[in-house]
Amino acid sequence: MPERLLHRASPATNLLLLGAFLSVALGSESLLVRAGALLLVPSLALLSGEGPRNLVRRGRFLLLFALVLILSQALFVRDGRTLFSFWPRFTTGGLEAGAGMALRFLLIVSSSLLFVLVTDADRLGAWIARLRVPYRHGAVVVLALRFLPLFRHELRAVRDAQRVRGIEASLRTPRGLLRAARYTFLPVLVAGLSRADALAISMVGRGFGLHPRRTRRPCPPLGWSDAAGVILSLLLVAATVVSRQARWP
């Protein structure tokens, strides 16, 4: 399948875009601007060729957690006008605080996910090398991205093993919860360490660390995808600044 939009863009453009989304999430107090930026994230993913089913699968847990954030704020913040007087008492201030927190959370996590989805790790490594970041440090970023899916797979297998042995049932008590967390952490850690061992041998065996640099490949020229990414980033930053100055709702 041909690469589209952000998949074609330089890692630098994608990083700039991520920075712009984070500036909205952390810098703008306007719920409208944050909500608008949040809508842009799945739109960009779709335009870049990511499947809608994939987005729904990844997004549903985020939305669920965002809902929990809204409810927790709505239950405990009592500022503003009362919307429902019966228990639980919801106020406009509580809902605003919840919505603000949920939007901030969703924007930070979803834009980071978008960056991981559309950025080619090997291209990112080459680009980091151009910034004169030591090769060893740049390689860490590439390896982290390479191993994310493997850890996800490992985590799923460990949880399945817990289900098969009936360990899942003990999640109802705090002690059981702690035990389940330990039972998840330990096998995943062991898997990570054993993979790290094999990986280190494989990398050193192929000359990693022999020289402070590696063969540098020319980066592909910037294209219209990069232009679109830069313009969008500038617009997002401008919206952040203006919304702060003008105190947009």
Give the footprint of other proteins on this chain (CB under 8 A).
53, 120-122, 139, 142-143, 145-146, 149-150, 154, 157-158, 160-167, 182-183, 186-187, 190-191, 194-195, 197-211, 213-215, 217
Tokens read off for 239: 């919206």
Q: Which two tokens stand for residue 123?
A: 């291209």
CB of 170 to other proteins, least distance (A): 10
The least CB distance from residue 131 to other proteins, in Å, is: 17
CB of 194 to other proteins, least distance (A): 7
DSSP 85: -
Q: Are 243 and 152 in contact (CB under 8 A)?
A: no
Nearer to other proteins, 90 or 183 (CB): 183
Is the distance from CB of 169 to CB of 148 less than 8 angstroms? no
Q: Please identify, using beta-carbon distances, which residue of 7 and 244 lies nearer to other proteins.
A: 7
Query: Both tokens of residue 72?
Result: 């927790």
Query: Considering only CA atoms, which of 216, 219, 201, 196 is closest in space to residue 135?
Result: 216
Nearer to other proteins, 78 or 153 (CB): 153
Q: What are the start-end ranges of the H helices in 30-173?
A: 31-47, 52-76, 92-118, 121-130, 135-165
Q: In angstroms, what is the minimal distance from the CB of 175 to other proteins?
A: 14
Is residue 90 a contact partner of residue 83, using CB atoms and an 8 Å limit? yes
DSSP state of 4: -
Nearer to other proteins, 134 or 209 (CB): 209
Measured distance CA(118)–CA(112) in Å, rounded: 10
Closer of 190 and 235 to other proteins (Cβ): 190
Selection from 27, 29, 24 nearest residue 41 by Cα: 24
Task: Closer to other proteins by CB, 90 or 127: give it.
Answer: 127
Least CB distance to other proteins at residue 201 (A): 5
Shortest Å distance, C-beta 108 to other proteins: 24
